Structure 1
């Protein structure tokens, strides 16, 4: 495994042998046929948008570029391949593999965070046939899941709206550690505000957040004595206070105000809150549902928060993890407002209310509705596992060899490919909203704003005309002849770009349920090539 110096992003799992064996057997076939160095072009794309939506958020490019920069078969890799290929394989093939790298590879791609549509390449790989073939599985692995996660996160952000904070907290539910790191990274790109995943913070710069779990609360019985219960005022020197004693004083007042009966809130829970407050006086938060929210968690939290308030500290939030989250949040906000007035503590009104508990799109819409008092929503399983559609289904198809177009003609029309190395353009209206994406052969001149174009929908019998107000090239060269030729922006910048891109889509394409289909059209030259290759194929 690569060292941390060679692999600062923790991507050691994305190595050349993270591939399917048939990539290696094809490589041997190309080499044996004398075709290993023939120039080839592959395109990576998806056939249909996930989750019943109309778009995908392109993600994973930064991982692909790092992988390409480091791509080299080590001696141990070659020795292993020799052990799984037939024993009579020519040793010269393995010597060739030792020389393989990406120095002859060029990659054009959609920028990280771009809106993408079916059939439009996320990535175009040009290079020696053998090398470009070996890149297929790793690149699919790096792009497909990242784009799926980013798209899922973008949908959740659209449902939540711009004001609610979203926290990804699904590491323990993710498909292994690599899946967890990818999910934390690209849910942030898709619009989440942060993650509970500390490694994603360290390696990728994703903002991290977290509070406490029920185990912390239930570990206390109430008999524990803090070794140092004394707290200094937030403003600096001043009378020190025994926090536990001050909490007991406030608890009596809170319970009286809330009209609670003779049953005292749970002592162990209160001891846990005091311990947490002593550790984090400037960031105290309470998890309220270890026992009863109304009879125990809420009064215990209020007692600690108000005791801290006497010393100039401000509690930052509470979290709910069970029950009717919307209803409980409304009740808690009402209590905060009432006691803020009763105890002259105006800061209490705006204490953040966070919720979690297997939240899906439907529940998120409920929590985000107008009048909701929920401020932060933590989502785990339903963002990192994408249960509505666990795979994007990206494919990596050969479109040109030795400057000759190649096309897959198959019994299933949906699986037929578009031949030739291509360029892609987004045609925009006067407001800057996308009208359609145009695929054309790379040798064709770029379309011009204000110029009427004759274009073809796939499968259409007649062309249509379009006159764009502006034209945006989609594919940019990021990696050329083994060198990074355009610096990838920081993750936070790609996140902002993704949100701007989503904001440009028309509402009918942005709808999450039954959206209008976005048009991807072919130039006349590309359609003519498709029809010619079809006619030349054996019947």
Structure 2
């Protein structure tokens, strides 16, 4: 047996590095007890097929983004019980036959075959995101880990994509959620999958390092509050970026404050009422970061202090050859304050003939959610960038996606799970998935077929049926047909290029363009159709009748 390496990663040749927490013991105990019961029952040579899917789109929407595939593939590649794993299981399950642990110690995922959609694809309820085929015991042991890798990743990516749709393509989105995330691993996953879903950067420095996500950040209110006045600044000078001339930057900021006060009378600004400590903090921060200066302007009063102090420092930086970036607003009426800030920038830009000044960035934070952005849009805000934390990473509107992992075939025999709740009836057997497109390039329907059926052809007339409602059916003549499944893992190897975060991020944007606007709208979106072939429809219902008990009336 190969023990985990010193870095916590399984020591397996040619494997991709993986988070050390993601390992075979990251599972529910009943997976291992079931594996033992299978083993005791002599089912070590049984084969099975499982589907991983969800039943309902999150956030009252009608689309979902599939994410987590990269980590799934790494998990399969590194799947192995270490010496310490086996020792722990022996202590945890002392009544288990010791020979079972020898069996576990030699298990790998090499005999598993994984079909999946591309990471970053738009997906819909009941369409299997993963089709897992192989030895029953191994496929069963994978269940919980695959679910935890796909559920949260897809939920956050979908949430992020919805924020992107709400804000539009011209507004930057930054993920600020680490301090509110469900623990450190939740924080890292949120940063990764928010970026995949369409965000532009994160405040999470470790996520930036691990996943090559752009990192962004300014300062907190504590930095502003730590200064009382400009007299306490000991480092005051700055060199001109081009000439090298060195002057007292704090004095220059005060000079600009005197010049700008008359222009800001519409804000009811009085120089003596604005905070000298805030000006000191801005000047100090500008001296530290003259080429990327962004100021948090709401510590005292955005209109009567923050904007004046920021503009004074920004103009001083410009005079010394540097380019300030903008402001961040973290409280108050964001629509009103952003429009007031933009009007301030435009007045100064017009008076000093500085076209760039009117386009300074306005970042808004303050517990923003999707509804906040839609409301701000209606109010005509002037925000260039949203910093979003709690509602993004915790997915407060819906904290879980609800993916399930269901047995659909055992030893080539299809299996169906029945329920009084029709939504919980499974679709038996191995299935392939095709997306049918109209002539306008938009997706019309996802069609599930039994493996072995002739795939649909562009231009042909295809009967698409609801899986369980007999009367819901339609003919579709697609202009384009796309097979959603690829074999990503077979014979112990990754068969497709390992999904790269930036490529998956681009796929989200491209995939969303193929979905009609009414499926993506915020209010009352149109449900997207997921259908089955006529052959699969009859197969499901025949198997249903075979397995459903017949009642007796007396």
* Range of TM-score over shorter length: over 0.9
Q: Say which of 51, 54, 58 aligns to 1:50.
A: 58
Change (3 A) 1:10 1:222: farther
Note the 1:116-135 alignment, pairs <5 A. Answer: 116-135=123-142
Q: Say which of 65, 72, 81 aligns to 2:80.
A: 72
Which residue in the other structure is 2:474 paired with?
464
Instruction: Answer yes or no: is 1:207 the counterpart of 2:217.
Output: no
Which residue in the other structure is 1:252 paired with?
258
Which residue in the other structure is 2:393 paired with?
384
Equivalent pair of 2:261/2:308 in contact (CA under 8 Å)? yes
Note the 1:403-482 alignment, pairs <5 A. Answer: 403-462=412-471, 463-482=473-492
Residues 492-534 of structure 1: CA distance to partner in whole angstroms, max 9, x if unpaired? Answer: 2211111111111112212222212211111122222212211
Instruction: Answer yes or no: is 1:162 the counterpart of 2:169.
Output: yes
Q: Give the SS at the match of 2:59.
A: helix
Q: TM-score, normalised by structure 1?
A: 0.96
Instruction: Answer yes or no: is 1:343 the counterpart of 2:349.
Output: no
Q: Give the SS at the match of 2:235.
A: coil
Which residue in the other structure is 1:112 paired with?
119
Q: Give the SS at the match of 2:363.
A: strand
Task: Give the root-mean-square deviation of aligned CA atoms.
Answer: 1.7
Q: Give the SS at the match of 1:263.
A: helix
Equivalent pair of 1:10/1:203 in contact (CA under 8 Å)? no
* CA distance, structure 2, for counterparts of residue 92 and residue 445 of structure 1: 46
Q: Give the SS at the match of 2:272.
A: coil
* CA distance, structure 2, for counterparts of residue 464 and residue 328 of structure 1: 52
Which residue in the other structure is 1:6 paired with?
9
- Give 1:464 deviation, angstroms: 3.2
Equivalent pair of 2:263/2:347 in contact (CA under 8 Å)? no
Equivalent pair of 1:250/1:306 in contact (CA under 8 Å)? yes
- Give 1:117 deviation, angstroms: 0.7
Between 1:156-165 and 1:527-536, the stretch displaced more is 527-536
Which residue in the other structure is 2:312 paired with?
303
* CA distance, structure 2, for counterparts of residue 464 and residue 345 of structure 1: 60
Change (3 A) 1:30 1:262: closer
Give 5+ residue unaligned stretches, structure 1.
none
Instruction: Answer yes or no: is 1:184 the counterpart of 2:191.
Output: yes
- Give 1:369 deviation, angstroms: 4.0
Change (3 A) 1:224 1:61: farther
* CA distance, structure 2, for counterparts of residue 20 and residue 264 of structure 1: 61
Give 5+ residue unaligned stretches, structure 2.
11-15
Which residue in the other structure is 1:395 paired with?
404
Q: Give the SS at the match of 1:51.
A: coil
Q: TM-score, normalised by structure 2?
A: 0.94
Which residue in the other structure is 2:330 paired with?
321
Equivalent pair of 1:427/1:470 in contact (CA under 8 Å)? yes
Equivalent pair of 2:49/2:131 in contact (CA under 8 Å)? yes
Residues 155-195 of structure 1: CA distance to partner in whole angstroms, max 9, x if unpaired? Answer: 11111111111111111111111111111111111111111
Equivalent pair of 1:170/1:381 in contact (CA under 8 Å)? yes
Q: Say which of 210, 220, 225 aligns to 1:218.
A: 225
* CA distance, structure 1, for counterparts of residue 271 and residue 356 of structure 2: 29
Q: Give the SS at the match of 2:84.
A: helix
Which residue in the other structure is 2:13 paired with?
none
- Give 1:10 deviation, angstroms: 6.1
Between 1:481-490 and 1:277-286, the stretch displaced more is 481-490
- Give 1:93 deviation, angstroms: 0.3
